Amino acid sequence: MIKEKIAAKITEKKIRELADQTGIDLLGFFSVEPLRECLPYLTRRHREGYSTGFEGGEPEDRIDYLRAFPAAKTGIVIGVSNYQSFATEADDQVRGQLASVTWGEDYHRVLGRKMNALMEAINHEMKTIGSSPVHYQAFVDNSPLVDRGSAYRAGLGFFGKNNCLINHQLGSFFFIGQILVDCYFQFKTPKLVKNGCGTCRLCLDACPQRALGAGFSLEPSKCISYLTQKKVLSADEEKRISNYLYGCDTCQKVCPYNQHLEQTREPAFWIEADTAAPVLEDILTLTNKGFKTRFGNTASGWRGKKNLIRNAQLILKNKKRHD
């Protein structure tokens, strides 16, 4: 009989203290039973052809933690704010917009560092109290797992009509990472956050192409964020690129929960207003070296220079058509 690995000596309170010291804004724990509460939504999206191709797996794969890390016994999920606000650039330059997901250093790297630092701190504490080290696997949008589903199960927020997870403290402007560990941490069962959208439909009405459905659905072919990342666009899709070079924050900006937020305390995400709204002429003349220097370390870098230049061209083309 194999003895189960248990880490009961380290408390939930201690782990939360270590997380705060690591610069983590939100932290929760979740069980690693299959995420069946998300399966009907994932299955419906798949059936209706609303998958983007970025998900990395079939619906059943996306709810199974053990496929991602067979030794998993407990899950930890973190949230780190990336919120910033800027005044509109007051000049006569024609500019595009970069969504908040691209601001500063690539969030995959930032959250990856924080999760590794947290686990190093946990293992240091485990060693201090005479327990075996914890083995783990950390994920930030790099597996089929549903990060928002894990965060919901851990009590970090509710699913908004804009398809984002909304936290009462950070709104929806935060990144999510999750850690699967090979031992049982003792934690208080999370209280699920009640949906707070009510009858509000600001995000649905603000979406430029009406990509958001009333039943918490998203049609990718109408979503500006998806289209800016898509490699090949149809003629109709090209007409929908109007001001964003990468991503789209429209549905988040109008959300009542995203008003009066505090700026992120994470320096790796801090940028200047000019970075959030680059001059389109500068994008059109990007060299490979210029792209690598300017965007290579951001979350927009993965799609390459061609997508940004194409989107800049489409913004200018569509602007002329509407002027």
Indicate which residues carry an active-site annotation.
141
Task: Please tell me whether residue 249 adopts helix, strand or coil conformation.
Answer: coil
The answer to whether the CB of 173 falls within 8 A of the CB of 82 is: yes
Closest CA to 38 of 57, 54, 62: 62
Q: How far apart are CA 191 and CA 231, in angstroms?
A: 41
Closest CA to 247 of 191, 155, 188, 175: 175
Beta strands in 200-255 (DSSP E): 212-213, 217-218, 244-246
Residues 6+ apart with CB under 8 A from 282: none
Q: At residue 239, what is the residue type?
A: K
Dihedral angle of Cα 110, 35, 149, 207, to the nearest 10 degrees: 130
The answer to whether the CB of 95 falls within 8 A of the CB of 65 is: no
What tokens does 274 get? 């000019």
CA R_g for the chain: 21
Helix (H) or strand (E) holding 290: helix 288-295
3-state secondary structure 179-202: EEECCECCCCCCCCCCCCCCCCCH
Q: How far apart are CA 288 and CA 72, in angstroms?
A: 42
Closest CA to 297 of 109, 134, 32, 86: 109
DSSP state, residue 252: H
What tokens does 7 get? 């880490």
> Phi-psi bin for 180: left (phi > 0), alpha (psi -120 to 50), beta?
beta
